[in-house]
């Protein structure tokens, strides 16, 4: 699992031209931090400098216990532990210069398993963007480029029985699908661009190196598994 080298879909990712990153805590922390180095833009301060994209974090818990969880809820309902400041869904001001409106937003997580978390994140952000755009005057709305959504994960787990969560995926593997051809309704690009850096995997549990509490043992087992050709996700 060599994330930085195996970002085979990054060329595709740049076709959506992301300019706002939203990392889903805590699975998205590591891929978001790495991806950020690949998505730099030219500095607005001039010269040959580059700048990082704005990044915000949201906290969503599906499989884990948070305060107030019951055993029944775990793995079924998404619990929101952190969300974005509502100022991000208004037009920028000198005091609050950052906005999601008119941005190409990319949602980042480690693995697209049941797709429940990604569906929740997309739908809830979409709602907030829609409300933000609805609060603008027609002139303000017209001054903005479309707000578009993409998701970026390391692995997409293939489920024999299908995914529980649903995203209106755009066919971004096709060279004919471009930003220009993406339908835009009420200022919002319809559908979701989708990037799985390391592609598809079977329906297996994935241990990422940054989840290990003994990295030497992790590396030993990973090398052994490679040698034996077992437990390989890609």
Q: List the catalytic residues.
A: 113
Q: Kindly tell me which of 203 and 217 has the beta carbon lying closer to its own copies.
A: 217
Residue 229 interacts with its own copies (CB under 8 A)?
Answer: no
Are 39 and 18 in contact by the 8 Å Cβ rule? The answer is yes
Least distance in angstroms from the C-beta of 181 to its own copies: 29
Least distance in angstroms from the C-beta of 80 to its own copies: 10
What CA–CA distance (Å, rounded) separates 220 from 206?
16
Considering only 79-87, 115-123, 161-169, 198-206, which stretch makes contact with its own copies by CB under 8 A? Answer: 79-87
How many residues belong to the site for its own copies (CB under 8 A)?
50
What CA–CA distance (Å, rounded) separates 72 from 130?
32
Least distance in angstroms from the C-beta of 40 to its own copies: 9
Structure tokens at 144: 């903005």
Question: Could you write out the DSSP letters of every residue in 108-158?
Answer: E-SEESSSHHHHHHHHHHHHHHHHHHHTS-HHHHHHSPPEEEEEEESEEE-
Would you give the binding string for its own copies spanning residues 33-72, x where CB under 8 A is met?
A: xx-xxx----xxx---x-xx-xxxx-x----xxxxxxxx-
Number of H helices and E strands in the chain, helices first, is: 5, 12
Residues that bind its own copies (CB under 8 A): 2-5, 23, 25-26, 29-30, 32-34, 36-38, 43-45, 49, 51-52, 54-57, 59, 64-71, 81-85, 92, 94, 97-98, 210-216
């Amino acid at each position: 699992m060599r994330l930085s080298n195996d970002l085979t879909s990054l060329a595709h990712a740049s076709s959506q031209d992301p300019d706002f990153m939203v990392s889903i805590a805590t699975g998205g922390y590591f891929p978001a931090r790495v991806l950020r180095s690949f998505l730099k833009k030219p500095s607005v301060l001039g010269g040959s400098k580059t700048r990082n994209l704005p990044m915000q974090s949201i906290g969503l818990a599906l499989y884990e216990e948070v305060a107030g969880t019951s055993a029944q809820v775990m793995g079924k309902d998404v619990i929101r532990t952190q969300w974005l400041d509502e100022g991000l869904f208004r037009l920028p001001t000198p005091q609050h210069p950052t906005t999601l409106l008119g941005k190409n937003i990319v949602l980042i997580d480690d693995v697209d398993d049941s797709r429940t978390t990604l569906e929740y994140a997309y739908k809830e952000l979409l709602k907030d963007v829609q409300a933000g755009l609805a609060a603008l005057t027609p002139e303000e709305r017209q001054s903005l480029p479309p707000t578009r959504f993409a998701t970026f994960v390391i692995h997409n787990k293939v489920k024999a029985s299908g995914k529980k969560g649903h995203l209106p995926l755009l066919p971004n593997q096709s060279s004919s699908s471009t930003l220009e051809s993406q339908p835009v309704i009420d200022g919002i690009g319809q559908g979701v661009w989708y990037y799985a850096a390391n592609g598809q995997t079977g329906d297996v549990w994935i241990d990422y190196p940054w989840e290990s509490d003994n990295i030497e043992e992790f590396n030993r087992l990973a090398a052994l598994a490679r040698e034996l050709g077992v437990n390989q996700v890609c």
